Structure 1
């Protein structure tokens, strides 16, 4: 019997507990923020590279599915269309799609301004 692949998407506002939950779930944990971690394990956000970070996350996601590994992707996914690529991947690889929403308020580890988080909250699609 072959292993059942899963694509788990963990969505929520910054500071809601996405990364913490994702690390506890089975599968390779990926998120766009990982793109901004340098060789010294220091997070250096560069807004002009955000699109490249999401491309990297998508490429790594497909790589691991091709290897027969389940994935757990934690990103804000504020709008539904932001999950579309991963939904297509799940279908393409015959993986079970799981979507989890984090609603905690633990404070943003990346020091995102409250005004930015509030804008995201107003744009949130349930």
Structure 2
């Protein structure tokens, strides 16, 4: 069985999570780190680095278990995908990168100014 590392990138509200849930593989994203025991999303900006580390560690764990992964994060800059590209190489997994460009509105109430800043930093 061929493993797959699928990266879904896009601005907040572009449909990344919705698409990820429809694709085969274990769905992971840094935002999952902020879901508390009651299932509520509680973002803590000072924990963002820890959230991405958690997502990377869980990604490697599932690949070690022989499971394909689907990682949906904004991935605004190319370097943000580098870890996952190396993981795909290490596990001889097929790498797929999908860009979401729809505008459904952010479910995490991200300010429009923050999204616009991300849009200006976006690397195709």
TM-score normalised per structure 2:
1.00
How far apart, CA to CA, are the structure 1 residues paired with 2:53 and 2:65? 19
Q: Which one of 50, 53, 65 corresponds to residue 52 of structure 1?
A: 50
1:96 — aligned with what?
A: 94
1:11 — aligned with what?
A: 9
How far apart, CA to CA, are the structure 1 residues paired with 2:100 and 2:119? 13
In the TM superposition, structure 1's runs of 4+ consecutive aligned residues that sit over 6 Å from their partners are: none
Aligned residues: 124
SS in structure 2 at match of 1:19? helix
Instruction: Give the deviation of 1:90 after TM superposition.
Output: 0.1
How far apart, CA to CA, are the structure 1 residues paired with 2:119 and 2:40? 27
How far apart, CA to CA, are the structure 2 residues paired with 1:59 and 1:18? 20
Instruction: Give the deviation of 1:95 after TM superposition.
Output: 0.1
How far apart, CA to CA, are the structure 1 residues paired with 2:109 and 2:67? 32
- Structure 2: gaps of 5 or more residues: none
How far apart, CA to CA, are the structure 2 residues paired with 1:49 and 1:22? 23
2:75 — aligned with what?
A: 77
SS in structure 2 at match of 1:61? helix
- Superposition pairs of residues 106-117 of structure 1, within 5 angstroms: 106-117=104-115
How far apart, CA to CA, are the structure 1 residues paired with 2:70 and 2:111? 26
- Structure 1: gaps of 5 or more residues: none
